[in-house]
Structure 1
Amino acid sequence: MKKLKVTIIGYGGMGSFHAKLIQANPEVEVHGIFDILESRQQAGEADGYSAYASLEEALNDACADTILIATPNDVHKEIAVQ
Structure 2
Amino acid sequence: MHEVTVRYWAAAQAAAGTHEERLAAADLGELRDAALHAHPGLAPVLKVASYLLDGHRIDGSAALPAESIVEVLPPFAGG
Normalised by the length of structure 1, the TM-score is 0.30
The structure in which a higher percent of residues are helix is 1
The structure in which a higher percent of residues are strand is 2
Normalised by the length of structure 2, the TM-score is 0.31
